[in-house]
Amino acid sequence: MITLHKEGRISIILAVIAAFLLIYTGNEFLSKVVWAKALLYVLAIFILIVILQFFRKPKRRVILNNDLVYAPADGKIVAIEEVEDPEYLHTKVTQVSIFMSPINVHINWIPVSGTVKYFKYHPGRFLVAWHPKSSTDNERTTLVIETRNGHLVLLKQIAGALARRIVHYAKEGDQVTQGKEFGFIKFGSRVDVLLPPEAKIKVDMDQPVTGNRTVLAEF
Protein backbone atom coordinates (compact mmCIF):
# COMPACT_ATOMS: atom_id res chain seq x y z
CA MET A 1 0.00 0.00 0.00
CA ILE A 2 1.28 3.50 -0.87
CA THR A 3 0.25 6.73 0.87
CA LEU A 4 1.63 10.29 0.75
CA HIS A 5 4.37 11.49 3.10
CA LYS A 6 3.69 14.29 5.58
CA GLU A 7 6.73 16.21 4.31
CA GLY A 8 4.96 16.74 1.00
CA ARG A 9 1.89 18.61 2.29
CA ILE A 10 2.97 22.12 1.28
CA SER A 11 4.45 20.99 -2.05
CA ILE A 12 1.30 19.05 -2.91
CA ILE A 13 -0.94 22.03 -2.06
CA LEU A 14 1.23 24.30 -4.24
CA ALA A 15 1.13 21.75 -7.07
CA VAL A 16 -2.67 21.57 -6.90
CA ILE A 17 -2.90 25.40 -6.98
CA ALA A 18 -0.50 25.55 -9.95
CA ALA A 19 -2.48 22.90 -11.81
CA PHE A 20 -5.76 24.73 -11.13
CA LEU A 21 -4.29 28.02 -12.41
CA LEU A 22 -3.03 26.34 -15.59
CA ILE A 23 -6.40 24.75 -16.28
CA TYR A 24 -8.22 28.02 -15.46
CA THR A 25 -5.92 29.94 -17.81
CA GLY A 26 -6.59 27.44 -20.57
CA ASN A 27 -10.35 27.62 -20.15
CA GLU A 28 -10.62 31.39 -19.76
CA PHE A 29 -8.02 32.76 -22.15
CA LEU A 30 -7.11 30.01 -24.59
CA SER A 31 -10.44 28.28 -25.15
CA LYS A 32 -10.23 28.92 -28.91
CA VAL A 33 -6.58 27.86 -29.20
CA VAL A 34 -7.06 24.14 -28.84
CA TRP A 35 -3.41 23.10 -28.94
CA ALA A 36 -2.38 25.69 -26.30
CA LYS A 37 -5.26 24.74 -24.03
CA ALA A 38 -4.33 21.05 -24.36
CA LEU A 39 -0.70 21.87 -23.60
CA LEU A 40 -1.67 23.60 -20.34
CA TYR A 41 -3.84 20.63 -19.39
CA VAL A 42 -0.95 18.23 -19.99
CA LEU A 43 1.41 20.46 -18.01
CA ALA A 44 -1.03 20.59 -15.08
CA ILE A 45 -1.36 16.81 -15.01
CA PHE A 46 2.41 16.39 -15.33
CA ILE A 47 3.09 18.65 -12.33
CA LEU A 48 0.58 16.77 -10.17
CA ILE A 49 1.95 13.35 -11.13
CA VAL A 50 5.58 14.35 -10.51
CA ILE A 51 4.86 15.84 -7.08
CA LEU A 52 2.59 12.99 -5.98
CA GLN A 53 5.06 10.29 -7.01
CA PHE A 54 7.95 12.12 -5.35
CA PHE A 55 6.20 12.21 -1.97
CA ARG A 56 4.80 8.69 -2.11
CA LYS A 57 5.23 6.64 1.05
CA PRO A 58 5.37 2.87 0.53
CA LYS A 59 4.74 0.65 3.54
CA ARG A 60 7.57 -1.86 3.93
CA ARG A 61 7.89 -4.29 6.80
CA VAL A 62 11.38 -5.21 7.93
CA ILE A 63 12.52 -8.52 9.42
CA LEU A 64 14.67 -7.30 12.31
CA ASN A 65 18.17 -8.76 12.27
CA ASN A 66 21.10 -7.41 14.31
CA ASP A 67 23.60 -8.94 11.88
CA LEU A 68 22.28 -7.11 8.79
CA VAL A 69 22.57 -3.54 7.51
CA TYR A 70 19.62 -2.63 5.30
CA ALA A 71 19.70 0.06 2.62
CA PRO A 72 18.51 3.34 4.21
CA ALA A 73 17.16 4.67 0.91
CA ASP A 74 15.97 3.79 -2.58
CA GLY A 75 18.42 4.50 -5.39
CA LYS A 76 21.62 3.26 -7.01
CA ILE A 77 25.03 2.41 -5.55
CA VAL A 78 27.47 5.06 -6.79
CA ALA A 79 30.45 4.42 -4.51
CA ILE A 80 31.98 1.55 -2.53
CA GLU A 81 35.34 2.66 -1.17
CA GLU A 82 37.64 2.78 1.80
CA VAL A 83 37.73 6.22 3.42
CA GLU A 84 38.78 7.77 6.70
CA ASP A 85 36.08 9.56 8.65
CA PRO A 86 37.46 12.78 10.20
CA GLU A 87 34.28 13.80 11.99
CA TYR A 88 33.47 11.09 14.53
CA LEU A 89 34.88 7.63 13.83
CA HIS A 90 38.46 8.83 13.12
CA THR A 91 39.38 5.56 11.48
CA LYS A 92 39.27 3.81 8.11
CA VAL A 93 35.83 2.57 7.15
CA THR A 94 33.99 1.32 4.08
CA GLN A 95 31.72 3.92 2.53
CA VAL A 96 28.69 2.79 0.53
CA SER A 97 26.92 5.67 -1.23
CA ILE A 98 23.36 5.61 -2.59
CA PHE A 99 22.28 8.20 -5.15
CA MET A 100 18.57 9.01 -5.03
CA SER A 101 17.22 10.43 -8.29
CA PRO A 102 14.08 12.62 -8.38
CA ILE A 103 11.99 9.56 -9.33
CA ASN A 104 13.03 7.55 -6.26
CA VAL A 105 11.21 7.45 -2.93
CA HIS A 106 13.06 10.01 -0.77
CA ILE A 107 12.33 8.67 2.69
CA ASN A 108 15.38 7.67 4.74
CA TRP A 109 15.12 4.60 6.97
CA ILE A 110 17.17 3.36 9.93
CA PRO A 111 19.44 0.55 8.63
CA VAL A 112 20.40 -0.95 12.03
CA SER A 113 18.85 -1.04 15.49
CA GLY A 114 20.74 0.60 18.33
CA THR A 115 21.49 3.89 20.11
CA VAL A 116 22.16 7.25 18.46
CA LYS A 117 25.62 8.23 19.71
CA TYR A 118 26.08 11.39 17.63
CA PHE A 119 24.11 13.76 15.44
CA LYS A 120 25.08 16.99 13.69
CA TYR A 121 23.64 19.20 10.95
CA HIS A 122 26.15 20.82 8.56
CA PRO A 123 25.16 23.78 6.34
CA GLY A 124 26.96 23.75 3.00
CA ARG A 125 26.95 23.87 -0.79
CA PHE A 126 24.64 22.17 -3.30
CA LEU A 127 26.97 20.27 -5.62
CA VAL A 128 25.43 17.47 -7.67
CA ALA A 129 24.93 14.50 -5.35
CA TRP A 130 27.36 12.22 -7.21
CA HIS A 131 30.23 14.74 -6.99
CA PRO A 132 33.11 13.32 -4.87
CA LYS A 133 33.16 16.42 -2.64
CA SER A 134 29.41 16.37 -1.98
CA SER A 135 30.05 14.16 1.08
CA THR A 136 32.17 16.86 2.71
CA ASP A 137 31.10 20.17 1.12
CA ASN A 138 27.31 19.93 0.70
CA GLU A 139 24.54 20.61 3.17
CA ARG A 140 24.28 17.36 5.11
CA THR A 141 23.59 15.62 8.40
CA THR A 142 25.72 13.06 10.22
CA LEU A 143 24.11 10.35 12.34
CA VAL A 144 26.04 7.64 14.20
CA ILE A 145 24.30 4.54 15.54
CA GLU A 146 25.90 2.02 17.89
CA THR A 147 24.30 -1.33 17.17
CA ARG A 148 23.26 -3.79 19.85
CA ASN A 149 26.36 -5.81 18.94
CA GLY A 150 28.68 -2.83 19.49
CA HIS A 151 29.28 -1.80 15.84
CA LEU A 152 29.32 1.87 14.87
CA VAL A 153 27.43 2.77 11.67
CA LEU A 154 27.59 6.35 10.38
CA LEU A 155 24.92 7.77 8.06
CA LYS A 156 25.09 10.97 6.03
CA GLN A 157 22.08 12.65 4.43
CA ILE A 158 23.54 14.78 1.65
CA ALA A 159 21.65 17.46 -0.28
CA GLY A 160 22.11 17.55 -4.05
CA ALA A 161 21.93 20.29 -6.67
CA LEU A 162 18.12 20.31 -6.52
CA ALA A 163 17.66 19.39 -2.86
CA ARG A 164 17.26 22.41 -0.62
CA ARG A 165 15.91 20.87 2.52
CA ILE A 166 17.02 17.92 4.62
CA VAL A 167 14.53 16.72 7.23
CA HIS A 168 15.80 14.65 10.17
CA TYR A 169 13.99 13.08 13.11
CA ALA A 170 16.65 11.35 15.26
CA LYS A 171 18.70 12.94 18.04
CA GLU A 172 21.51 11.87 20.34
CA GLY A 173 20.47 9.31 22.93
CA ASP A 174 17.50 7.97 20.97
CA GLN A 175 16.92 4.23 20.78
CA VAL A 176 16.25 3.48 17.10
CA THR A 177 14.91 0.41 15.33
CA GLN A 178 15.62 -0.99 11.88
CA GLY A 179 13.04 0.08 9.35
CA LYS A 180 11.84 3.24 11.10
CA GLU A 181 12.14 6.62 9.38
CA PHE A 182 14.99 8.92 10.37
CA GLY A 183 14.52 11.60 7.73
CA PHE A 184 13.58 12.82 4.27
CA ILE A 185 15.51 14.72 1.56
CA LYS A 186 13.59 16.78 -0.99
CA PHE A 187 14.26 16.64 -4.74
CA GLY A 188 17.40 14.64 -5.51
CA SER A 189 20.03 13.61 -2.99
CA ARG A 190 22.45 11.02 -1.64
CA VAL A 191 22.91 8.89 1.47
CA ASP A 192 26.34 7.63 2.56
CA VAL A 193 26.67 4.64 4.89
CA LEU A 194 30.05 4.28 6.63
CA LEU A 195 30.66 0.78 7.91
CA PRO A 196 33.42 -0.76 10.07
CA PRO A 197 36.03 -3.00 8.37
CA GLU A 198 34.44 -6.17 9.73
CA ALA A 199 31.25 -5.55 7.74
CA LYS A 200 30.91 -7.76 4.66
CA ILE A 201 29.56 -5.69 1.77
CA LYS A 202 26.68 -7.39 -0.07
CA VAL A 203 26.09 -4.92 -2.93
CA ASP A 204 27.94 -3.96 -6.12
CA MET A 205 28.61 -0.71 -7.96
CA ASP A 206 25.66 0.60 -10.03
CA GLN A 207 23.29 -1.84 -8.33
CA PRO A 208 19.74 -0.54 -7.73
CA VAL A 209 18.75 -0.83 -4.08
CA THR A 210 15.47 -0.57 -2.21
CA GLY A 211 15.25 0.97 1.25
CA ASN A 212 14.30 -1.50 4.00
CA ARG A 213 14.65 -4.36 1.49
CA THR A 214 18.19 -4.58 0.10
CA VAL A 215 20.92 -5.84 2.45
CA LEU A 216 23.96 -3.55 2.15
CA ALA A 217 26.21 -5.46 4.51
CA GLU A 218 26.41 -8.22 7.09
CA PHE A 219 28.37 -8.37 10.36
The Cα–Cα gap between 33 and 14 comes to 26
The Cα–Cα gap between 78 and 74 comes to 12
What confidence tens digit (pLDDT) does each residue in 45-58 have? Answer: 999 998 888 888 88
Q: Is the pLDDT of residue 176 over 90?
A: yes
Quick one: which of 118, 77, 83 has its CA closest to 101?
A: 77
Q: Given 97, 134, 135, 189, which residue is catalytic? A: 189
Opening angle at CA 115, ends 97 and 61, nearest 5: 65
**Active site includes 11?**
no
| 70, 109 contact by CB (below 8 A) | yes
In DSSP terms, 166 is beta-bridged to: 185
* Least confidently predicted of 20-24, 95-99, 136-140, 147-151: 136-140
Percentage of the chain lying above the pLDDT 70 cut:
89
Its CATH class, for the domain covering 68-218, is: mainly beta
Give the domain ranges of the chain.
Answer: 2-58, 68-218
Confidence of residue 26 (pLDDT cuts 50, 70, 90): confident
pTM: 0.85
Residue 137 φ/ψ, nearest 5 degrees: -105, -25
Q: Is the pLDDT of residue 63 over 80?
A: yes
